[in-house]
Amino acid sequence: MGLLEGKRLLVTGVLTDSSIAFNVAKLAQEEGAQVVLTGFGRLSLVERIAKRLPEPPPVVELDVQDTEHLDTLADRVGAHVDGLDGVVHSIGFAPQTALGGNFLNTTWEDVATAVHVSTFSFKSLAVACLPLMKEGGAVVGLDFDATKAWPVYDWMGVAKAGLESCSRYLARDLGKHGIRVNLVAAGPLRTMAAKSIPGFQEFEESWPAKAPLGWDLADTAPAAKACLALLSDWFPATTGEIVHVDGGVHAMGV
């Protein structure tokens, strides 16, 4: 019996096979889960990446800024599975003007985009999937420690702080449905999202040296395994929590 035997999961954010979400989907299938993916934009690209998984899953289109996509998500996912036991939110975006040391000059329009896609979408996705989670389950989001003002992260850091707060309110309101809501705060990884951050090399140069356990910027497996644990039945009374998977940097004073 695998850790997620019989579980039905919706996984967002599989853009490349170097993404955390890809590893979540891969390990989930290996642990017995049935997986459905979402894709944004050119679905053919996501479908191509999906074929690299042990069992190529169905891909459902989802633009989290599109109300119609959200309103119909449960029906479209329900065409492939008879319910959901878990949802993985791996969605984040900020315009270039909101990153890279431009904090004081970013316009509200660009900040609004970052918050809509990276923060509000956590609530939107959870609510859209609620009709499929009649037996309860787990929602897990991917985070980056928002307790500090990091170099170059700027308004995405603000959006992540909002994500952390949003997860606590979701935990409060979804608890009555038997749904746990938690975040995994991963250290910096060389994903597609990281490549879009100007000055990301500052993290690459300093993080491994600061981490008590060391840190491999190319290894998404530790973060993915944490997601699987939170999606499993082994955390039945944990909600509103942030699990740090960063080599221990968040706990250090340097």
The pLDDT of residue 201 is: 77
Q: What percent of the chain has pLDDT over 70?
A: 97
Q: Which of 253, 1, 9 lies closest to 132, judged by CA?
A: 9
| Short-list 131, 32, 122, 157, CA closest to 73 | 131
Q: Nearest Cα to 212, choosing from 176, 244, 173?
A: 244
Question: Are the C-beta atoms of residues 114 and 95 closer than 8 Å to each other?
Answer: yes
Angle at 125 between CA 65 and CA 191, to 5 degrees: 80
Helices in the chain by DSSP H: which ranges?
20-30, 43-50, 67-71, 73-78, 108-115, 121-129, 154-174, 192-195, 201-210, 221-231
% of the chain with per-residue pLDDT over 90: 88
CB proximity list for 111: less than 8 A, separation 6 or greater: 98, 155, 158
Mean pLDDT of 156-176: 98
Q: What is the pTM of this model?
A: 0.95
Active centre residues (catalytic): 153, 160
Q: How many Å is the maximal CA-CA distance in the chain?
A: 53
pLDDT 10s digits, 83-95 = 999 999 999 999 9
Give the pLDDT confidence score for residue 197 in this predicted structure.
Answer: 72
Contact 118, 92 (CB under 8 A): yes
> Measured between alpha carbons, how far is 186 from 150 in angstroms, rounded to an integer?
14
**What are the pLDDT digits (tens) for 126-144?**
999 999 999 999 999 999 9
State which amino acid sits at residue 231: L
The pLDDT tens digits of the residues spanning 3-29 come to 999 999 999 999 899 999 999 999 999
